[in-house]
Structures are given as C-alpha cells and as structure tokens.
Homo-oligomer: A and B are copies of this chain.
Amino acid sequence: MRILHTKPAEDGFYMPAEFAPHEGCLMIWPERADSWQYGAYAARKAFVRVIETIADSEKMTVFCSARQYDNARAQLSPRVRVAVLETDDAWARDIGPTFVVNGAGERRGVDWGFNAWGGIYPDCLRDAAAARRMCDLLDDDCYDLRGFICEGGSLHVDGEGTALVTEACLLNENRNPALDRAGIERVLCGALGVSKVIWLPRGIYQDETDEHVDNICAFVAPGEVVLAWTDDESDPQHALSAASLAALEAAVDAKGRKIKVHKLPLPAPVRITAEECEGLDRCEGEPTRTPGERLAASYVNFYIANGAVVMPAFGDPMDEKAQSILQGLFPTRKVVPIPARDILIGGGNIHCITQQIPRV
C-alpha cells in the first residue's frame, strides 16, 4: 500500500455510486459498552443479520477485537472473513476508507481525518487509524486526507459528478472550522472526483452525527433521491425535511439535471426505554442516552448491496410502506427489512455500519 499525498480527482479517481457493483463490504463487530446495551448481545444479532444478508451477494469482511475474535467467528458463517483490528466502535461507514476508482480498473482508499463526530467520545485514535489499515489489508493504495475531518456517512455521491451533504454536519465548527463552504467544496471535489456539491440544510432530528446526510437522503439513481419525510407538521422533523426538499427542488446536479425526489415516510418516533438505558455504560461519567430520548430513526439509512437493499425496520406500520417504496425504486434487488432498533440505539443504522468496496 502506498500512502498518497495527491488528491484523487487530480489522479483521475472518483467515488462510484453505492448502486454501482461492489467487490465486497466492510463491517465492524460491535463491542463498545457505552454504545451497545447489555454487552452488545442484541446489537450483534442485528449485525449478524445484516452481515449475512449482504454476504448473499458480496464478499464480507468483518473486523473485530482480538478479545471478540473467537466469538465473532462462531457467530458468523464461514463465507464471512473475520479479521482482527482494534477500533473504538463499530461504524465502518464513518471510520473506514471511502473508496475511489479510475477508468483503468484501479481502486484506492481515502483516509479522512476522524475526531469522533466532533467529539462524541474522547479517545478515538483507534478509529482514526483504522481506514489506512483496512486499505493495507485490501492492498489498495490510500490517500492521506487526514487534514480534513470527514465521515463516510456525511456524504453521498451519484457516481456522475454530484455529491450530497448537509450543512448541519459539514459546516459545523466541530469539524473543519478553518474552511468555509467554498473551501469544503474544493476538498470534496478533489477527494470524490465530483464537480457539484448539493447542500441540504439539515438532517434527521436528534441525529448525534450532526445530521449526516445518509440518514435523511440518498441517491437511488443518478438524478433521483429518497428523502426521509413526515407530513406531521407538529413533528420537529417536518421543518428539517421540508428545508431539504426545498434545497433539492432548487438544485441541479453535475449534469444539469433537476433532482427527482421520492419521499420515504418516517416511522413514528422511536424512543429509548429506561431498561435499554440501564444496559449502557457511562461515557466520561455521563449517560450516553436518557430514558424517553428520541432516536434518529429513518428508513433512508439502508445499504445497497449487489443483490439486496438492506433496510432498517422498526416494528412500525410504516415498515411495509417504506419497503414497498424502496422495492419500486430498486427493481433488480430484493429489499430486505432487518429489525434495527438495537443498531439504532448505538446512534446510527445499517448504512452507518457498512462500507462498500467498489468492484473494479
């Protein structure tokens, strides 16, 4: 693995869309006790279902701590590769490399700077070091973009020159305070090989990532997105989704196309229970969740595998509606809903715990 100090775009590399073919997918085995209740047993069950569903159509590599290796190996099917790598938590989307490709069949990783989403946990050095080590394992050269704080979940691309981000996250002064909007756009264009950045103002209410785009809006095809939506004007989410809709309606993509928006309904608010909170360690002496707290549940946080769309389900009447909408948008893939409350408690969802490796 070479560590490169140029920018992907200047070398002819770009990030392909998630719906382009994958060679495989990276995930991390959950263990952190202030993220995953009662020893992560419930979370692991949900992770295993996600892993095995993706493994039906992609080569899965799951990273875990040395302590958890034998257990992870026992829980996962033999077709899944398990590799030991110490991390601080299990968010492969945000701490893994963002992969870029060129027209000559080469793939490289982008190693962003990582500060635990602006500082959610104090010690994030193992997470910050993970992307480079994952690239090394895959034998992919790796761009050093550690000077720019960024998480994979804070961006989406259409593979045709357009990136989608939120102002709430990318402009937050807890990430890259020295850069203004134009400066951030320059970095994203250089790193992702895009020429156009579409900015949504906000994401999902109470999303502790500072409202990552991957929880509210995702490309389903070039020029087409799904947007998390509620018609309930009394829900604080309504104004956030409406602002994003307005931004999308006003935007054109890198090819000059208007954006077609498919509204994806939100489930009824999901609130953490006292019993669930009781099973979480304190972080820096403080609770990470309080009973009754609304979690940032959204069906948009799905993963597009080669053969499936792996969608979070919440045991809500809207589950079926969301599944049906996504199935209409992804006719060549099977939409697979997976009960994801135990992932959501950790602070993200299926997209956040996965990282695709594009096929070259």
Contacts and interface: CB of A to CB of B under 8 A. Distances in A.
Nearest to A138: B81
A129 interface: yes
A139 B3 CA distance: 26
B81 A139 contact: yes
Contacts of A136: 73, 81-83
A78 interface: yes
Contacts of A126: 66
Contacts of A276: none
**Contact size range, A:** 20 to 34
Contacts of A132: 73
Contacts of A82: 1, 133, 136
A137 B84 CA distance: 9
A126 B132 CA distance: 23
A255 interface: no
A69 B125 CA distance: 13
Contact of A69 (B66, B78, B129): B129
A133 B78 contact: no
A85 B69 CA distance: 11
A1 B73 contact: yes
Contacts of A208: none
- The count of identical subunits is 2
Nearest to A85: B84
A83 B2 CA distance: 14
Contacts of A141: 78
Contact of A86 (B1, B66, B81, B137): B66
A81 B133 contact: no
Interface in A92-113: none
Given A83-B136, A85-B84, A1 B66 contact: no
Given A66-B86, A136-B73, A78 B129 contact: no
A137 B134 CA distance: 12
A171 B137 CA distance: 39
Contacts of A2: 78
A69 B134 CA distance: 12
A1 B62 CA distance: 12
A82 B138 CA distance: 10
Nearest to A66: B86
24 contacts: A1-B73, A1-B78, A1-B82, A2-B78, A3-B73, A66-B86, A66-B126, A66-B129, A69-B129, A69-B133, A70-B129, A73-B136, A78-B141, A81-B136, A81-B137, A82-B133, A82-B136, A83-B83, A83-B133, A83-B136, A83-B137, A84-B84, A84-B85, A84-B86
Given A1-B81, A81-B139, 20 more contacts: A1-B73, A1-B78, A1-B82, A2-B78, A66-B126, A66-B129, A69-B133, A70-B129, A73-B132, A73-B136, A81-B137, A82-B133, A82-B136, A83-B83, A83-B133, A83-B137, A84-B85, A84-B86, A84-B133, A137-B137
Interface of A: 1-3, 66, 69-70, 73, 78, 81-86, 126, 129, 132-133, 136-137, 139, 141
